[in-house]
């Protein structure tokens, strides 16, 4: 499947990847996401805030970014927004994107590649469920572009999932 990303898409996707590195630098799982409006202006930015193993496991970067955007924008504006993510949204985040009314998703690291990086790490029991499959079960279309820039996105994960707990 050919990937059609504009120069602006690439800039924003790289910003989401940079957020994943920022998340890791703060001791959190290396995931980042942002929501941009129809004119490519960033509305919200988020890093993973779930803080496993003891924090709220639902605070994935995508979910946080969508929730913030939904508080700021109405349904028509959200439909024109794009969520950029350092990794393919999991099924929970895909649900949040769908229910939040976001119209487009661009992601870097595929769920399959993420699973290869995380292995069976107990803090990230990765689903083998592509976000496209989740969206296909809904009543409205969500455009999905990805994976793209996987090698760049994988850098924030290098050695992270093999480290020993403090």
- Establish whether 62 is a catalytic residue: yes
Residue 57 is classified by DSSP as T
Residues 6+ apart with CB under 8 A from 126: 90, 111, 114, 115, 118
Phi and psi, residue 86, nearest 5°: -70, -20
Selected catalytic residue, list 15, 62, 123, 152: 62
Q: What Rg do the C-alpha atoms of the chain give, in angstroms?
A: 15
Backbone angles phi, psi at 164, to 5 degrees: -90, 150
Catalytically annotated residues: 62
């Amino acid at each position: 499947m050919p990937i059609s990303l504009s120069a602006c898409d690439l800039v924003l996707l790289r910003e989401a990847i940079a957020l994943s590195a920022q998340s890791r630098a703060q001791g959190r799982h290396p995931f980042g996401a942002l929501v941009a409006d129809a004119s490519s202006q960033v509305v919200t930015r988020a890093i993973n805030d779930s803080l496993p193993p003891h924090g709220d496991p639902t605070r994935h970067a995508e979910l946080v970014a969508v929730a913030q955007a939904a508080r700021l924008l109405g349904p028509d504006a959200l439909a024109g927004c794009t969520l950029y993510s350092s990794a393919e949204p999991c099924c929970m985040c895909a649900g949040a994107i769908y229910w939040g009314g976001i119209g487009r998703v661009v992601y870097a690291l595929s769920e399959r590649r993420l699973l290869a990086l995380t292995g069976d790490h107990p803090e990230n029991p990765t689903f083998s469920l592509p976000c496209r499959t989740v969206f296909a079960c809904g009543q409205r279309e969500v455009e999905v572009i990805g994976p793209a820039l996987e090698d760049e996105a994988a850098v924030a994960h290098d050695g992270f999932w093999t480290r020993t707990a403090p």
